[in-house]
Chain A
């Protein structure tokens, strides 16, 4: 049985050489072609001095080249680090430095972003896929094609690093979640088996590579021999076009955040298309409003649905599969643990939560991360080792068990916000806001609209003499943090409400936010 993630590709290339591995718009690549291209890239990377254990960045708008880059990097024995091309240059600079990237696999349209991200202090040795001049070594795809098509022989083990996915941290700096071939392969194996994915399946991949939902398309599908249809950006903006794509590509599995499905439901004219090919609709990243979900189930009657739960640190750890949602179900449960996984709920007193008591979800699973890159302290804080040396990840998510023993989500232990599936740490955003010269204090919170969508808002206290929102506020914020984490609206207050103990009273701010105060958008 294969133990390394790229062995999925070599196996599928042998078994199903002519089957499409990935599709993107009019482009497609078979398993045999993908293995050949990725092998050439691996040889090019090795020539560019990449070796076992090195990290290599992928800065590409998610497309077929993302798959070539991912498998090329793994075949070279290195770990891939997906970088969001919508990140501000300061964040990219941080990533390059933080995990010591020497080589980037990128694309021509990222040229100016790369230029902006490099500086005197932050250099990179080699960029692959960009011809337009950069202050470092460059290799065009045409040059990569001149390398050998046989995969290089690199000896690595399943405990070697496979990828690092960055997520927002409470300090305002992103933290890198390290996954090994073992944890990645465990996810590929468990998800393949739970959803009975085979070589005839066609998965709609709506998620960019830097987001953990992409692992089903990029890791599990090659393990199953099926086809991943990457949804191009344009389709995400036009639900009618997206609905037609699902029909035309005869997708059998869909996986996205609830928002994409809600948009399809509200503006996709689903009643006009035939979605009979869909056998699974998976959603995760945040809760799905049950009223919307019931409407969706009616429009896709043949499909089974799955609520997927699991922070990026464990990829997935529970599932709740269903075909109908009985009236009495007010909230879709997180469900129960999947194979090779143990979940315990720990109450505030540090004991196992009993009966229907709420507790923090702790997970021990084969899909668990190795830790946070370069942060033994943060890793130690989030991983709990028991007396018998079992390691549990503290999710920070709260849940209780219902009468069937299924987990039901009960919010967060801390203030983390989920928006469109992204994790946002309000404390990190507050630190950035407070760095603005006209802002004294800030409180960042999530605000849920009637469809259950959460947006980020901030209450700010201005310096004396300042009137109205600082003109450069939006620019200022977006220089440091990604767009999804930037507050969409601001509320100017004279002071932040505090509890008796002097702590900022976030629940009161939220209440005020729904009341008489008026929000302003930064411009």
Chain B
């Protein structure tokens, strides 16, 4: 799951903005790595790829600030569903 998200973020959202491997704990939102449009793309990607519907109340910084945070969120959602 981590790798999938990392690939998406690296290839689709960041492109050549940042060279080298992106760390999963790196803050995606603060330093201009991902803009608001990128955030919408990331949310759409997570919904499609992991078959989730993300309600507005979950669209908060804590759930999307890093690849680790996104994985944590998906994990919690999957736990409550099963």
**Among the listed stretches B2-10, B28-36, B44-52, B73-81, which one makes contact with chain A, having 4 or more residues with CB under 8 Å of it?**
B28-36
Residues in B neighbouring A380, C-beta threshold 8 A: none
Say how far A70's CB is from chain B's closest CB, in angstroms: 20
Residues in B neighbouring A86, C-beta threshold 8 A: 32
A-binding residues in B (CB < 8 A) = 27, 29-32, 34-36, 39, 56-57, 59-62, 64-65
Asked whether A238 and B61 contact (CB < 8 A) given A61-B30, A232-B30, A233-B30, the answer is yes
Say how far B45's CB is from chain A's closest CB, in angstroms: 15
Tell me the bound Cα distance from A483 to B60 in angstroms: 25
Tell me the bound Cα distance from A198 to B22 in angstroms: 45
* A234 near B29: Cβ-Cβ < 8 Å: yes
* A237 near B30: Cβ-Cβ < 8 Å: no
* A238 near B56: Cβ-Cβ < 8 Å: no
Say how far A54's CB is from chain B's closest CB, in angstroms: 28
* A237 near B39: Cβ-Cβ < 8 Å: yes
* A240 near B57: Cβ-Cβ < 8 Å: yes
Tell me the bound Cα distance from A289 to B57 in angstroms: 25
* B39 near A238: Cβ-Cβ < 8 Å: yes
Residues in A neighbouring B31, C-beta threshold 8 A: 61, 109, 233
* A236 near B56: Cβ-Cβ < 8 Å: no
Chain A residue at smallest Cβ distance from B40: A237
Residues in B neighbouring A129, C-beta threshold 8 A: none
* A235 near B32: Cβ-Cβ < 8 Å: no
Contact partner of B36 among A85, A236, A269, A272, CB < 8 A?
A: A236
Most buried by A among B27, B31, B56, B61: B61
* A240 near B60: Cβ-Cβ < 8 Å: yes
* A267 near B59: Cβ-Cβ < 8 Å: yes
Say how far B39's CB is from chain A's closest CB, in angstroms: 5
A395 within 8 A of B: no
Residues in A neighbouring B36, C-beta threshold 8 A: 236-237
A341 within 8 A of B: no
Chain B residue at smallest Cβ distance from A25: B30
A241 within 8 A of B: yes
Q: List 27 A-B contacts (CB under 8 A).
A: A61-B30, A61-B32, A85-B32, A86-B32, A233-B30, A233-B31, A233-B32, A234-B30, A234-B61, A235-B61, A236-B36, A237-B29, A237-B35, A237-B36, A238-B39, A238-B60, A238-B61, A238-B64, A239-B59, A240-B57, A240-B59, A240-B60, A244-B60, A267-B56, A269-B56, A269-B57, A483-B35
Q: Give the residues from 226 to 267 in chain A that come closer than 8 angstroms, CB to CB, to chain B.
A: 232-241, 244, 267
Say how far A291's CB is from chain B's closest CB, in angstroms: 20
Say how far A27's CB is from chain B's closest CB, in angstroms: 13
Chain B residue at smallest Cβ distance from A243: B60
B-binding residues in A (CB < 8 A) = 61, 85-86, 109, 232-241, 244, 267, 269, 272, 483
Chain B residue at smallest Cβ distance from A259: B36
Chain A residue at smallest Cβ distance from B15: A475
Say how far A351's CB is from chain B's closest CB, in angstroms: 45
Contact partner of A241 among B30, B32, B34, B61, CB < 8 A?
A: B61
Say how far B2's CB is from chain A's closest CB, in angstroms: 21
Residues in A neighbouring B56, C-beta threshold 8 A: 240, 267, 269
Residues in B neighbouring A241, C-beta threshold 8 A: 60-62
Residues in B neighbouring A240, C-beta threshold 8 A: 56-57, 59-60
Residues in A neighbouring B60, C-beta threshold 8 A: 238, 240-241, 244
Given contacts A61-B31, A61-B32, A240-B56, 5 further A-B contacts (CB under 8 A): A86-B32, A109-B31, A232-B30, A238-B59, A240-B57
Residues in B neighbouring A61, C-beta threshold 8 A: 30-32
Tell me the bound Cα distance from A133 to B56 in angstroms: 43
The 6 closest A-B pairs by CB, nearest first: A234-B29, A241-B61, A237-B39, A241-B60, A237-B36, A234-B61
Chain B residue at smallest Cβ distance from A85: B32
Tell me the bound Cα distance from A61 to B27 in angstroms: 14
Residues in A neighbouring B59, C-beta threshold 8 A: 238-240, 267
Tell me the bound Cα distance from A235 to B39 in angstroms: 12
Tell me the bound Cα distance from A109 to B17 in angstroms: 13
* A234 near B65: Cβ-Cβ < 8 Å: yes
Tell me the bound Cα distance from A86 to B17 in angstroms: 11
Tell me the bound Cα distance from A374 to B21 in angstroms: 44
Chain A residue at smallest Cβ distance from B42: A237
Say how far B78's CB is from chain A's closest CB, in angstroms: 22
Residues in B neighbouring A269, C-beta threshold 8 A: 56-57
Say how far A110's CB is from chain B's closest CB, in angstroms: 9
Residues in B neighbouring A239, C-beta threshold 8 A: 59
Say how far A453's CB is from chain B's closest CB, in angstroms: 12
Say how far A269's CB is from chain B's closest CB, in angstroms: 6
Chain A residue at smallest Cβ distance from B31: A109
Residues in B neighbouring A234, C-beta threshold 8 A: 27, 29-30, 61, 65
Say how far B47's CB is from chain A's closest CB, in angstroms: 15
Residues in A neighbouring B30, C-beta threshold 8 A: 61, 232-234
Chain A residue at smallest Cβ distance from B16: A475
Tell me the bound Cα distance from A330 to B23 in angstroms: 51
Tell me the bound Cα distance from A86 to B59 in angstroms: 24
Tell me the bound Cα distance from A239 to B43 in angstroms: 14
Say how far B19's CB is from chain A's closest CB, in angstroms: 9
Residues in A neighbouring B57, C-beta threshold 8 A: 240, 269, 272
Say how far B63's CB is from chain A's closest CB, in angstroms: 9
Say how far A8's CB is from chain B's closest CB, in angstroms: 29
